[in-house]
Chain A
Amino acid sequence: MSYSGAVPTARSRAMVRETRHLLFTVAPGAFWIFIFLVLPSAYLMGVAFMTNGPYGLPQMPLSLDAFERLAGVGFLGWSPGNLYTLLRSLWQTLVSTVLVVIVAYPVAYYITTCREKWRPILLLLVVVPSWTNQVIRAFGWMNLLAPGTPLSSLAESLGLVAPNMGLYPSNLAVTLGLVYNFLPFMVLPLYAAFEKLDTAQVQAAQDLYASPVRAFWHAVFPQTLPGLLAGTVLVAIPAFGMYVIPELLGGGKGMMLGNLVANQFAGSSNWPLGAAGAILMLIATFIGLFAMRRIGKRLGGGEEVVI
Chain B
Amino acid sequence: MRKRTLARGLAGIWWVTLFFLYAPLFVIVLFSFNSANSTAVFENFSLAWYRRLFGNEQIINAFGNSLVLAVSSSIIALVIGCLIGYGMYRHRHRKLGWLIVLIYLPIVLPDIVFGISEMTFFVQIHDWTGLLQPGLGTMIIAHVTFQIPFVALIVYSRFVGLDPTLFEAAKDLYASPIKRVVHFMVPTIKPALISAFFLSFTLSIDDFVISFFTAGPESATLPIYIWSAIKKGVTPEINAIATLMIGAVAMAAIFSMLFNRQGRR
- Interface residue count on the B side (C-beta < 8 Å): 84
- Which secondary structure dominates where chain A touches chain B? helix
Contacts of B104 in A (CB 8 A): 307
Question: Which residues of chain B in 133-188 are interfacial with respect to chain A, using CB atoms and an 8 Å cutoff?
Answer: 141-142, 144-145, 148-149, 152
Contact of B112 among A21, A41, A144, A258 (CB under 8 A): A258
CB distance from A122 to the nearest CB of B (A): 8
Docked CA distance A66–B201 (Å): 38
Give the residue name and chain of the A residue nearest to B84 (CB). Answer: A29
Give min CB distance, A225 to chain B, whole Å.
21
Complex interface: chain B residues within 8 A of A106 (CB): 9-10, 13-14
Knowing A36-B118, A133-B208, the reply to whether A241 touches B28 (Cβ < 8 A) is no
Please determine whether B105 and A38 come into contact, CB atoms closer than 8 angstroms. Answer: yes
Is A132 in the interface zone, CB < 8 Å from B? yes
> What chain B residues lie within 8 Å of A26 (beta carbons)?
83-84, 87-88, 91, 99
Interface set, chain A 132-160, CB cutoff 8 A to B: 132-137, 139-144, 146-149
Q: Which of B218-234 contact A (CB under 8 A)?
A: 222-223, 226-227, 230, 234
Q: Which residue of A lies closest to B16 (CB)?
A: A103
* 24 contacts across the A-B interface (CB closer than 8 A): A22-B94, A26-B87, A30-B84, A32-B80, A33-B148, A38-B105, A40-B118, A44-B121, A107-B14, A120-B257, A125-B18, A126-B17, A129-B22, A135-B226, A140-B24, A143-B24, A143-B27, A146-B234, A241-B110, A243-B111, A271-B120, A281-B110, A281-B113, A307-B108
Give the interface of A toward B (CB within 8 A).
Answer: 18, 21-22, 24-26, 28-30, 32-34, 36-41, 43-44, 47, 103, 106-107, 109-111, 113, 120-121, 124-126, 128-129, 131-137, 139-144, 146-149, 180, 183, 212, 237-238, 240-241, 243-244, 248, 258, 261-262, 265, 271, 274-275, 278, 281-282, 285, 289, 307
